[in-house]
A = this chain, B = another copy of it.
């Protein structure tokens, strides 16, 4: 790993530790492993995929803990759960607002920024509905890799 990204990772982990303390969460070995792995994986892994990777380093970690940790971190806004039409949920570390591009074929999820979307006004009738906390765009299609096969 280039030293620049290693440094960034360290910073993000420090922020994670800080957020945990602020939320009253203990900083356990497992939580650290899970969050670090999530930061390093750009591919929105499922709980199972995450577990498989971490087990290589720490064979004793259990899948339940991965699930439980992700749920806890999600509750505290440190992790996002992405529900697609697939059976399994996917996760990502919360970094910056962005949107998702999902390949209907291989189910891979790609992050995209879309400032034009972030800035447009909400539809009118939303106002009397209540308060919006977040809005998100999801695009479905076929990626070039799948299209070429």
Contact = CB atoms under 8 A, between A and B. Distances in A.
A32 interface: no
Contact of A141 (B110, B128, B132): B132
A95 to B, nearest CB: 17
A83 B85 contact: yes
A132 B104 CA distance: 10
A147 to B, nearest CB: 6
Nearest to A143: B130
A82 to B, nearest CB: 9
B126 A139 contact: yes
A125 interface: yes
Contacts of A146: 130
A114 B89 CA distance: 27
Given A123-B116, A134-B139, A137-B137, A129 B104 contact: no
B135 A147 contact: no
